[in-house]
Amino acid sequence: MEKQIKEVLDNATAKIASIKTKQELMQASTEFLGKNGALANLMKGLRELPVEQKRVVGEQLNQLRDMLNKLVKDKDAEIETMLLNEKLSQEKVDVTIPVKPMSYGTLHPIEALKKDLINYFVARGFELKDGGDIETDYYCFEALNVPKEHPAREMQDTFYIDNETVLRTHTSAMQVRTMESQQPPIKMISTGNAYRIDEVDATHSPIFNQLEILVVDKNVTLADLIGTIEDLIKHLLGEKTEIRVRPSYFPFTEPSIEVDAVKDGQYIEMLGAGMVHPKVLEMSGIDSNIYKGFAAGLGLDRLAMLKYGVSDLRELYENDINLLKQVK
Which residues bind to ligand DAH, rule: CB under 6 A?
170, 172, 212, 250, 253, 272-274, 295-297
What is the Cα–Cα distance from 317 to 57, expressed in whole angstroms?
84
Q: Which is nearer to ligand DAH, 28 or 296 (CB)?
A: 296
Q: Which is nearer to ligand DAH, 26 or 226 (CB)?
A: 226
CB of 258 to ligand DAH, least distance (A): 8
Q: Which is nearer to ligand DAH, 275 or 316 (CB)?
A: 275
Q: Which is nearer to ligand DAH, 37 or 299 (CB)?
A: 299
H or E, element range at 85: helix 51-90
Is the omega angle on the peptide bond into residue 278 within 30 degrees of 0, that is, cis? no
* Contact indicator for 144, 252 with CB cutoff of 8 Å: yes
Q: Among 19, 34, 23, which residue's Cα sits nearest to residue 71?
A: 19
* Contact indicator for 76, 28 with CB cutoff of 8 Å: no
Q: Which is nearer to ligand DAH, 37 or 297 (CB)?
A: 297
H or E, element range at 82: helix 51-90
DSSP line for 280-303? HHHHTT--TTT-EEEEEEEEHHHH
Neighbours of 48 (CB within 10 A): 9
Pairing of strands 165-167, 253-263: unpaired
CB of 244 to ligand DAH, least distance (A): 16
CB of 212 to ligand DAH, least distance (A): 6
CB of 296 to ligand DAH, least distance (A): 5
Range list of H helices, 96-250:
109-122, 137-140, 152-155, 173-181, 222-237
How large is the C-alpha radius of gyration of the chain? 42
What is the Cα–Cα distance from 222 to 230, expressed in whole angstroms?
12
CB of 275 to ligand DAH, least distance (A): 8
CB of 194 to ligand DAH, least distance (A): 7
Q: Which is nearer to ligand DAH, 61 or 295 (CB)?
A: 295
Q: What is each CA distance from 69 to 19, 26, 63, 83, 199, in whole angstroms?
A: 15, 12, 10, 21, 81
CB of 278 to ligand DAH, least distance (A): 14
Residue nearest to ligand DAH (CB): 297
Q: Which is nearer to ligand DAH, 29 or 253 (CB)?
A: 253
CB of 120 to ligand DAH, least distance (A): 17
Q: Which is nearer to ligand DAH, 1 or 222 (CB)?
A: 222
